[in-house]
Amino acid sequence: MENTKKRLLSLDVLRGITVAGMILVNNGGNSTYAPLQHSAWNGLTPCDLVFPFFLFIMGISTYISLNKFNFSFSSHVVLKILKRTFIILCIGWAIAWFHHICDGDFFPFAHLRIPGVLQRIALCYCAASFMALFMKHKFIPVCIAVILIGYALILCLGNGYLYNETNIIAIIDRWLVGEEHLYRKSIIDPEGITSTLPAIAHTMIGFYCGKMIAETKQVDRKVLKLFLIGFIITAAGFLIMYGLPLNKRIWSPSFVLVTCGLASSLLAVLMYYIDIKDKKKWCRFFVIFGVNPLFLYVLSEVLSIILSTSGIYTTIYTAINYLITDNYLASAIYAVTYTLLLGAAGYPLWKRKIYIKI
Strand partners, 355: 2
Average pLDDT value over all residues in the chain? 92
Confidence of residue 5 (pLDDT cuts 50, 70, 90): very low
Q: Which amino acid is at 72?
A: S
Confidence of residue 4 (pLDDT cuts 50, 70, 90): very low
Q: pLDDT at position 278, please?
A: 86
260 and 300: one domain? no
159 and 286: one domain? no
173 and 304: one domain? no
Integer Cα distance of 132 and 120 in angstroms: 18
By C-alpha distance, which of 190, 54, 165 is closest to 115? 190
Of 251, 279, 307, the one marking the end of a domain is: 279
Q: pLDDT at position 30, please?
A: 67
Residue 251 domain-assigned (yes or no):
yes
Residue 161 domain-assigned (yes or no):
yes
89 and 192: one domain? yes
Of 244, 279, 314, the one marking the end of a domain is: 279
Q: pLDDT at position 133, please?
A: 94
Of 250, 279, 308, the one marking the end of a domain is: 279
Residue 83 domain-assigned (yes or no):
yes
Between 2 and 227, the higher pLDDT residue: 227
Q: pLDDT at position 86, please?
A: 97
176 and 190: one domain? yes
Residue 47 domain-assigned (yes or no):
no
260 and 226: one domain? yes
Average pLDDT estimate for 224-230: 95
248 and 356: one domain? no
Say whether 1 sits in a helix, a strand or coil: coil
Assign residue 189 a region (left: φ > 0; alpha: ψ between -120 and 50; beta: otherwise): beta
Q: pLDDT at position 52, please?
A: 97
Integer Cα distance of 162 and 170 in angstroms: 10
Residue 50 domain-assigned (yes or no):
no
164 and 264: one domain? yes
Contact 206/11 with Cβ under 8 angstroms?
A: no
Q: pLDDT at position 20, please?
A: 96
Contact 246/43 with Cβ under 8 angstroms?
A: yes
321 and 338: one domain? yes
**For the chain, what is the domain count?**
2
Q: pLDDT at position 322, please?
A: 87
Residue 44 domain-assigned (yes or no):
no
125 and 264: one domain? yes
Average pLDDT estimate for 227-237: 96
Q: pLDDT at position 70, please?
A: 92
Confidence of residue 2 (pLDDT cuts 50, 70, 90): very low
In percent, the amount of the chain with pLDDT more than 90 equals 80
Q: pLDDT at position 3, please?
A: 40
Residue 48 domain-assigned (yes or no):
no
56 contact partners, CB below 8 Å, separation of at least 6: 202, 203, 205, 206, 209, 259, 260, 263, 264
Query: For residue 33, is pLDDT > 90?
Result: no
In percent, the amount of the chain with pLDDT more than 70 equals 97
Q: pLDDT at position 1, please?
A: 39
Query: For residue 94, is pLDDT > 80?
Result: yes
142 and 120: one domain? yes
Query: For residue 6, is pLDDT > 80?
Result: no
By C-alpha distance, which of 305, 304, 312, 309 is closest to 335? 304
Confidence of residue 79 (pLDDT cuts 50, 70, 90): very high
Confidence of residue 77 (pLDDT cuts 50, 70, 90): very high
Average pLDDT estimate for 246-266: 97
Integer Cα distance of 352 and 154 in angstroms: 49
Q: pLDDT at position 32, please?
A: 80
266 and 342: one domain? no
Determine the structural domain holding residue 193 and report its residue range. Answer: 55-279
Contact 280/16 with Cβ under 8 angstroms?
A: no
Residue 49 domain-assigned (yes or no):
no
